A and B are shown apart, each in its own frame.
Chain A
Amino acid sequence: EPEVTQTPSHQVTQMGQEVILRCVPISNHLYFYWYRQILGQKVEFLVSFYNNEISEKSEIFDDQFSVERPDGSNFTLKIRSTKLEDSAMYFCASSAPHSGANVLTFGAGSRLTVL
């Protein structure tokens, strides 16, 4: 079964450092997403990406965050200067052309710990 793969599975970083989380969506999917889940809290939408541009972003996705699809396969989330409150599980997801923004397949997540 095709899957969304994410790296790293866990990253520990110091406050103020830049972090890049990487995702390889399912190959024929056209819609890409990042969500995050702070421990014990709900899954929160960060950003959606389609046709090489951001289609929607939440209020969480401020100037410290950026996304890129540099080479047609990877989809990255960059946090420019991490804060303690950025500690969370970050999930990448993708969806197929026919399902639009409906049925998402999630990756296993990247756990970010900011010290």
Chain B
Amino acid sequence: RKEVEQDPGPFNVPEGATVAFNCTYSNSASQSFFWYRQDCRKEPKLLMSVYSSGNEDGRFTAQLNRASQYISLLIRDSKLSDSATYLCVVNIPQVGSNYKLTFGKGTLLTVNP
């Protein structure tokens, strides 16, 4: 099983649609989880952290299910500007007390007018 695995996509949705992305991770000792956004040929930017209780930031809702090792991101009322690649990122423990932020391959979202 890959360390971080995401829906392969791509997703093409109309403006105003609701879209959900899923992600699974293999290491049950992982502690921190994030969604990053990456525009074409740009750097990844933090979209939101993901907490066990679930968290919401405007139109974006992130959920974590530790038992299933599953993370999701829901985007409501999608805008043209939401078009980007969404990266699931997990902080995976290494030998000793180190952690390593590990990225999924990303899911491309295109929001169409």
Give the interface of A toward B (CB within 8 A): 33, 35, 41-45, 48, 55-56, 58, 89, 91, 100-109
Q: What residues of chain B have their CB less than 8 Å away from a CB belonging to chain A?
A: 32, 34, 38, 41-46, 49, 87, 91, 94, 98-106
A101 to B104, CA, bound (A): 17
Give 13 A-B contacts (CB < 8 Å), ordered by A residue.
A42-B103, A43-B103, A45-B101, A48-B100, A56-B94, A91-B43, A101-B98, A102-B49, A102-B99, A103-B34, A103-B49, A104-B46, A108-B42
Main secondary structure of the interface of B (DSSP, over half): strand
Q: Are B43 and A107 neighbours in the complex by a CB distance under 8 Å?
A: yes
The residue in chain A whose Cβ has the minimal distance to the Cβ of B49 is A103
In the assembled complex, which residues on chain B have CB atoms less than 8 Å from the CB atom of A89? 41
* With known contacts A42-B104, A43-B103, A102-B32, A56–B98 Cβ distance under 8 A: yes
